Structure formats: structure tokens, C-alpha cells
Amino acid sequence: MRTGRLAPSPTGLLHLGNAWAFWLAWLDIRSLGGKLVLRLENIDPARSRAEYEQALRKDLAWLGLDWDTEAPPQSTRGARYDQVLEALACRGLSYPCYCTRKELRSLAGAPHMNDAGAPYPGTCRNLTTGERAALEAAGRRSSLRLRCPAKAIWRFTDRVRGAQSATLEDCGGDFALRRSDGVYAYQLAVVVDDLDQGVTSVVRGCDILISTPRQMYLYSLLQAEPPSYAHIPLVLDHEGERLAKRHGSLSLAALRDAGIRPETLLGLLAGLAGLQETYAPLRAAELLQRSGTNFSLEQVRRDSLILPANPVEAMLAQQG
């Protein structure tokens, strides 16, 4: 059974970009007759809040996006993540890393794929037991890193972006599985969850593309097939900036409060993406079948969706 997922992080209010990503994930699985899982990615206790969880459920329902089952939230999955960490450690695949963020930031390096920065230089890769003990005695806390084959090339066909290839070095080299404060890393949690939940189709923003080879490597270590990937274009403001906290007026809650209807917002997104010729209002399911053709992710272009300078006014104008 084809299985997709909505994997929101309850760390803030959903914005237009999240609506776009969740709508496409929903359209994809609904067009394939598959099953959609909702999974709360509340892995980071310091950033996740119950109020955002409630808000995102309300937003998804308002958009008209439903799901078939709900997976256990990441905050409840520690024992399972530990089990995988233990298995990787037993195979000598992970090691404690004592580098601080500050030390790593100070490394100059050529920019790599997206914003990975310089790859991890391997400082703690081959420390002796004595060196580890000395660092620990000095009060250093360790994260856990995965030993990665730096030069091997990872290839996959992205359903929106086509043929992709990168080495793990391009993607930042040895990466963290658990942070020094004990929080499980996104890369680990997302792979173990997608695997356990039978996810076969991942649809997410192209800002996460850089993580995909790392996740594919984890799949290979767990002797599992990775899902198919679609990295969709981002929604940018009129100056080409990614949507962030300062775009609070573009949160779904704020748009709803401004009197905008969900179909107006979806119509704008579809128009910006070239999935319809105008910005005419559109309900979530209306893209499933239009003029005799079924929706397929392959119809989505790679170009970013650039919002008009006054998106709220543009949407209100559509409502007449």
C-alpha cells in the first residue's frame, strides 16, 4: 500500500509554505489511492509546544486536508530510537563527538550543496579511549555521530527535481544521530519513523534535499529500501526570502483571521505554481482531477513560488 505522511513540527504556526507542502503530500497520496499518516515531529522538547500542535490540527482541517491514521509522536519513541542507536554503535558505525558548535562554526570552508557549510572534519572520529576519557573529565558532553563513507555517490530520482546525485561529504560528512543535550537528531528520527510506519512516498520542501543522501545512507545501514522522494519548490516572499517568523501575517491562523478562505489561499498557491492559469479559488480536492487529467507530482515545476508583494490584499481581491 502506498503510504505518505504529513510530518509537521509543532514549533510554530503553519504558514503558506507549510500549507503548500502538506497539500501536495495529500494530493499525491489521494491521487494514488494510498494511505496518509499524520506524525507530529515533536522531537525537540525545547521547541515543541502543545498549543502549536492544536493550531496545526485546526489549520489542516481548515485547509480540507485529512489523514487516515496518526502515528505515535516522536516524543514517545525514545526507546525505539535508542534500540537503533545501540545497533549502529555495536557495528562500530557511530562515535561520540565532543566538538562544540562554536568550534565547528569557526571552520572555514567552501559552501557545499545548499547550506551544509564545511563538512565535519572528523576531529573526533578516531579518538582513543584515553582521549575520550580526558575530554569527558574536562566536562565536555558528547553528541553521537555516524561514520559516513565520504566519497560514495548517492543517486536517486526525485519526482519533482529529476536525477540527483551527491556524496555524503557534499551533505556535511559524518552527521549527528543524537545531540549533546540528548535530543535525538532529525535524521535518525525521520528515517526510523518512516521505516516503521511503512512510508513509501516522501513529499517535502526542497530545503531538505541536502538531508536525503544522509537518510538514504541510514536506510542502507538498516537494510531497508528508502521511500520515493519529491522535494517541492519553496514559497518565497516577493523579495525572494524564505517564509520565517517575521512573516507572521502569512501564518494560516493570521490569514484566516484576516477573512481569507482556504480555497482562496489554495487557488493562489496553485496559480503561483502553474497548476492553474489564474489565482481562482480552489478546494483542496479540486486539483485531483482537472480537465480529465489526474493530479501527479510530476506536474509540479521546480521553480519557487514567489508571492505577490501584498499577498493578503491579492487574496482578498480574489474573494471580491
Alpha-helical segments (H) within 138-185: none
**Distances 149 to 250, 258, 260 between C-alpha atoms, Å:** 41, 51, 49
Q: Which is nearer to ligand GLU, 144 or 210 (CB)?
A: 210
- Binding segment for ligand GLU (CB under 6 A), chosen from 5-13, 47-55, 101-109, 114-122, is 5-13
Pairing of strands 35-38, 69-70: parallel
Q: Rule CB under 6 A: is residue 190 a binding residue for ligand GLU?
A: yes
Q: Which is nearer to ligand GLU, 241 or 313 (CB)?
A: 241
Binding mask 34-73 for ligand GLU (x = CB under 6 A): -------x--------------------------------
Q: Is the dihedral of CA 250, 253, 257, 261 positive or negative?
A: positive
Q: Is residue 183 within 8 Å of residue 138, measured between CB atoms?
A: no
Q: What H or E segment, with its residue span, contains residue 145?
A: strand 143-146
In angstroms, what is the minimal distance from the CB of 25 to ligand GLU? 8
* Number of chain positions touching ligand GLU (CB under 6 A): 7
Q: Which is nearer to ligand GLU, 179 or 283 (CB)?
A: 179
- Residue from 15, 30, 159, 204 touching ligand GLU (CB under 6 A): that is 204
Q: Which is nearer to ligand GLU, 227 or 262 (CB)?
A: 227
Cα first-last separation, the chain: 43
Q: Which is nearer to ligand GLU, 68 or 103 (CB)?
A: 68
In angstroms, what is the minimal distance from the CB of 150 to ligand GLU? 23
60-94 as b/e: b if 16+ CB within 10 A: bebbebebeeebebbbebeebbeebbeebeeeebb
Distance from C-alpha of 193 to C-alpha of 176, rounded to nearest angstrom: 17
- Binding segment for ligand GLU (CB under 6 A), chosen from 7-15, 79-87, 122-130, 260-268, is 7-15
In angstroms, what is the minimal distance from the CB of 191 to ligand GLU? 9
SS3 of 165, please?
strand
In angstroms, what is the minimal distance from the CB of 147 to ligand GLU? 23
Q: Rule CB under 6 A: is residue 253 a binding residue for ligand GLU?
A: no
Q: At 153, phi and psi to the nearest 5?
A: -95, 130
- Residue from 4, 7, 85, 193 touching ligand GLU (CB under 6 A): that is 7
- Residue from 89, 118, 208, 222 touching ligand GLU (CB under 6 A): that is 208
Q: Which three cell numbers stand for residue 262?
A: 482556504
Q: Which residues bind ligand GLU (CB under 6 A)?
A: 7-9, 41, 190, 204, 208
